[in-house]
């Protein structure tokens, strides 16, 4: 057991100070995916982006405010042509980090029918939100989002329809999925 934990720790590729460490084995999934989003923005890159966000543009000012307290944003999203291209073991190192006292799962939605599983976690630091993580596992899609730093989830949600980010209609019926 101890040996397994040791190996798991070695396999995690630290990317500077970040909320969760994204395992390096996720990189090999890119070769099998039809579409990949791979974004790594540490504090330096976020500061660079912030310098070019205009205070005069409402949308950009909103984003600038949102990212002001962040230390990093990390996204790995893979779409596959067919199910079975990734395993639970690929995701387990991420889950293991989220099942620690610092993190609380605030939403968990699972569909037995479609096999979709979506989870949202918040990290608390000194009584404030210090990170947000989203884990979406679907038969043909895997998405991991890690946001490290002070974040307001409501401000994040309000970005839909602004800054080139499409607004998803949350009122539409999906016809699938039930609360866990």
Q: Which of residues 41-60 bind another protein (CB under 8 A)?
A: 41, 44-46, 48-49, 51-53
Q: Which long-range contacts (CB under 8 A, 24 or more apart) does 41-50 make?
A: 41/72, 41/73, 41/74, 42/15, 42/16, 42/18, 42/71, 42/72, 43/16, 43/17, 43/70, 43/71, 43/72, 46/70, 46/71, 46/72, 46/73
At closest approach, how far in Å is the CB of 174 from another protein? 5
Site string for another protein, 15-34 (x = CB under 8 A): -------------------x
Site string for another protein, 63-102 (x = CB under 8 A): x---x-----xxx-x-------------------------
Residue 147 is a binding residue for another protein (CB under 8 A): yes
At closest approach, how far in Å is the CB of 8 from another protein? 25
Annotate 37-87 with DSSP letters as a single string. EEEEEEHHHHHHHHHTS-SSSHHHHHHHHHHTTEEEEEEEEEE-SSTTSS-
At closest approach, how far in Å is the CB of 173 from another protein? 5
Nearer to another protein, 101 or 164 (CB): 164
Question: Which region, judged by CB under 8 A, interacts with another protein, from 10-18, 24-32, 84-92, 168-176?
Answer: 168-176
Q: Tell me the C-alpha distance between 178 and 174, whole Å.
A: 10
Residue 115 is a binding residue for another protein (CB under 8 A): no
The radius of gyration of the chain from alpha carbons, rounded to an integer in Å, stands at: 17
In the complex, which residues of this chain contact another protein (CB under 8 A)?
34-35, 37, 39, 41, 44-46, 48-49, 51-53, 63, 67, 73-75, 77, 107, 109, 111, 118, 120, 134, 136, 143, 145, 147, 153, 156-157, 159-160, 163-179
């Amino acid at each position: 057991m101890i040996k397994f934990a040791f190996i798991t720790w070695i396999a995690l590729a630290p990317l500077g100070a970040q909320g969760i460490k994204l395992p390096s084995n996720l990189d090999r999934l890119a070769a099998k995916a039809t579409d990949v989003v791979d974004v790594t923005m540490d504090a330096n890159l976020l500061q660079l982006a912030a310098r070019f966000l205009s205070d005069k543009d409402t949308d950009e000012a909103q984003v600038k405010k949102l990212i002001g307290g962040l230390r990093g944003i990390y996204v790995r999203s893979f779409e596959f042509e067919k199910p079975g291209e990734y395993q639970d073991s690929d995701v387990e190192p991420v889950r293991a980090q989220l099942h620690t006292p610092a993190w609380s799962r605030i939403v968990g939605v699972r569909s037995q029918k479609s096999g979709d599983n979506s989870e949202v976690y918040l990290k608390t630091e000194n009584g404030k939100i210090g990170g947000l993580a989203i884990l979406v596992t679907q038969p043909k899609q895997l998405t991991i989002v890690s946001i490290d730093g002070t974040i307001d989830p409501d401000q994040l949600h309000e970005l839909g329809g602004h800054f080139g980010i499409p607004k998803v209609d949350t009122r539409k019926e999906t016809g699938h999925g039930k609360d866990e």
